[in-house]
Each structure stands twice: as structure tokens, then as C-alpha cells.
């Protein structure tokens, strides 16, 4: 069985950091994710998806994420329920994130001109998990292809043709 989800969207408000009675950090925020189609009025619609992070990842998100920031979230969907003050059963569907990536720098948002197609900024990208292991806690985007090290990028030919023989093709 598989329960994985990957979302890219913008935060609707600053994350809320709280601590459980046992002292475990938990952060909640909502991600606005555009739909691939327009509504009847011709405007794009969005889904507003609640996201929860735990432990070190929660503290990191509270420190670095702000309203409007473009963010990628990877995790699992969880449905929980509880009984409210009126005795009614309430069901909540949310994403429990174990990996969060900041897809634009705060300078790009504040400057107001993030060029489309620009390279990924150097911002923290953190993965956690329920163990609180912390994942990546350094700066940078943790991709195989770093912006500062183009020697690993197989597509950095400056527009020159790539020499591929027929023997290299899998079909």
C-alpha cells in the first residue's frame, strides 16, 4: 500500500508553531495549490490544503516560511476525527509532511521580481519524518545539480548538439 503526496503551492498565512505537553514542536499551515484548469468564470481555482509538520522540521518551517512563499511539501495524507463541543464527530483531512522545500528565496519575494525559469535559490531544504531525525539541515537545495557546480550538469552544453550514437538509444 502507498500513501504519498507531493504538493507545490503558496502559504496562505504564516505557520503556527506550538508545542505538545510533552514538548514536541508541531507546525500547521495551509498551502494554496492551483488546479490545472479554470472555473466557469475563466479564473483559476485553488485547493487549500492543511499541512502539519513535527519536531525539527516544524521549528524550521516556523523560522523560514512566510505567507505567500512558494513551497513544495512531501508527505502522507492523514484523516483523523474527534468529537467537538456540541457532541458531533468532526473529520479532518491533512498532509503530514516529512519533507519541505523552499522554492524561492525571501529576497525574490521581497524584491517582487522572481524571473521565471530562474535557477533554484539557495534556501534551506529540510526533511524530517516522524523520528525527528532532521534530514538535511544545511543550506542549499540538495539537488544533484548545484547552481555553483555545473560540471555535473549533463545539460550544460551551451546549446551545442549532443553527440549520441544509435547504440546509446534504448529502442
* Domain interval for residue 34: 5-168
Region for 23 from its dihedrals, namely left if φ exceeds 0, alpha if ψ lies in -120 to 50, beta otherwise: left
Q: Give Dmax over CA atoms of the chain in angstroms.
A: 71
Phi-psi bin for 68: left (phi > 0), alpha (psi -120 to 50), beta?
Answer: left
- Please state whether beta strands 5-11 and 25-38 pair in parallel, antiparallel, or not at all (unpaired): antiparallel
pLDDT tens string 34-77: 988 877 787 888 899 999 999 999 999 999 899 999 999 999 99
In this structure, what CATH number is given to the domain that contains residue 46? Answer: 2.40.50.140
Q: What cell numbers appear for 130 in the block?
A: 516522524
Residue in the structure block whose three cell numbers are 545539460: 155
Tens digits of per-residue pLDDT, 87-137? 999 999 999 999 999 887 665 555 443 333 333 334 445 565 443 334 443
Q: How many domains, the chain?
A: 1
* Tens of pLDDT, residues 126-142: 565 443 334 443 444 44
Q: Output the CA–CA distances (angstroms, integers) from residue 109 to 67, 68, 114, 121, in the order listed.
A: 10, 8, 7, 11
* pTM beyond 0.85, yes or no: no
pLDDT above 80 (res 24): yes
Task: Name the DSSP class of 103.
Answer: -
Amino acid at each position: 500500500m502507498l500513501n504519498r503526496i507531493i504538493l507545490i503551492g503558496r502559504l496562505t498565512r504564516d505557520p503556527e508553531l506550538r508545542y505538545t505537553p510533552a514538548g514536541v514542536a508541531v507546525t500547521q499551515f495551509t498551502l494554496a495549490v492551483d488546479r490545472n484548469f479554470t472555473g466557469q468564470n475563466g479564473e483559476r481555482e485553488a485547493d487549500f490544503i492543511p499541512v502539519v509538520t513535527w519536531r525539527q522540521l516544524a521549528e524550521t518551517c516556523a523560522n523560514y516560511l512566510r505567507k505567500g512563499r512558494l513551497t513544495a511539501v512531501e508527505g502522507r495524507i492523514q484523516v483523523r476525527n474527534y468529537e467537538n463541543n456540541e457532541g458531533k464527530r468532526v473529520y479532518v483531512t491533512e498532509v503530514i509532511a516529512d519533507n519541505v522545500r523552499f522554492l524561492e528565496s525571501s529576497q525574490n519575494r521581497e524584491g517582487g521580481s522572481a524571473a521565471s525559469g530562474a535557477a533554484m535559490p539557495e534556501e534551506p531544504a529540510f526533511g524530517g519524518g516522524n523520528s525527528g531525525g532532521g534530514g538535511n539541515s544545511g543550506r542549499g537545495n540538495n539537488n544533484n545539480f548545484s547552481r555553483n557546480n555545473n560540471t555535473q550538469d549533463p545539460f550544460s552544453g551551451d546549446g551545442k548538439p549532443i553527440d549520441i550514437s544509435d547504440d546509446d538509444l534504448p529502442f
